[in-house]
């Protein structure tokens, strides 16, 4: 697979993580739990992250192995839990992911390269 596709996938992950974080910026956990629109936006961002991570894992195994500090499997796993258990989504997990895991992911992605667009 081409290097430009890898860059695209990494960009999709990075952009979706930035989006999800921006969607909850300034919200309390209670505000998030009361705002279905924001929940849906964040959940969609997590699906995009998981889809792109799966593409990276499937097409660029050497890259994922070289950057094993990035939680590739966790991103894919979150996407699968959302897609296959949609009616059982745990909003506490979604909230904690966007508050803790995504900011950490953004730091990890900025360090791995190839550089996103």
Among the options 37, 76, 84, 115, which is catalytic? Answer: 84
Q: How deeply is 64 buried, as exposed, middle or buried, from its count of CB atoms within 10 A (0-12, 13-18, 19+)? A: middle
In this predicted structure, what is the pLDDT of residue 113? Answer: 67
In this predicted structure, what is the pLDDT of residue 117? Answer: 40
Domain with 49, as residue range(s), is: 3-112
In this predicted structure, what is the pLDDT of residue 12? Answer: 97
The answer to whether residue 115 is catalytic is: no
In this predicted structure, what is the pLDDT of residue 15? Answer: 97
The closest of 108, 100, 98 to 43, measured between CA atoms, is 98
The answer to whether residue 67 is catalytic is: no
Residue 117 lies in a domain: no
Is residue 4 within 8 A of residue 55, CB to CB? The reply is: no
Cα atoms found within 13 Å of the Cα of residue 10, Cβ hemisphere only: 23
For residues 72 and 79, give the distance between their C-alpha atoms in angstroms, rounded to a whole number.
11
Residue 71 lies in a domain: yes
What's the domain count of the chain?
1
- Give pLDDT < 50 ranges for the chain: 115-117
The Cβ of residue 63 has, within 10 Å, a number of other Cβ atoms equal to: 19
Tell me the whole-structure pTM to 2 decimals: 0.91
In this predicted structure, what is the pLDDT of residue 116? Answer: 40
Among the options 12, 67, 79, 81, which is catalytic? Answer: 79
In this predicted structure, what is the pLDDT of residue 115? Answer: 47
């Amino acid at each position: 697979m081409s290097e430009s596709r890898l860059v695209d996938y990494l960009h999709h992950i990075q952009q979706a993580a930035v989006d999800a974080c921006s969607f909850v910026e300034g919200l309390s956990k209670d505000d998030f739990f009361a705002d279905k629109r924001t929940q849906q936006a964040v959940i969609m961002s997590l699906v995009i992250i998981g889809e792109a991570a799966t593409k990276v894992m499937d097409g660029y195994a050497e890259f994922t192995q070289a950057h094993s500090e990035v939680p590739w499997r966790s991103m894919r796993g979150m996407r699968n839990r959302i897609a296959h258990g949609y009616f059982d989504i745990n909003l506490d997990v979604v909230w904690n992911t966007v508050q803790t895991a995504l900011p950490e992911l953004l730091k990890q992605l900025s360090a791995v390269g190839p550089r996103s667009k």
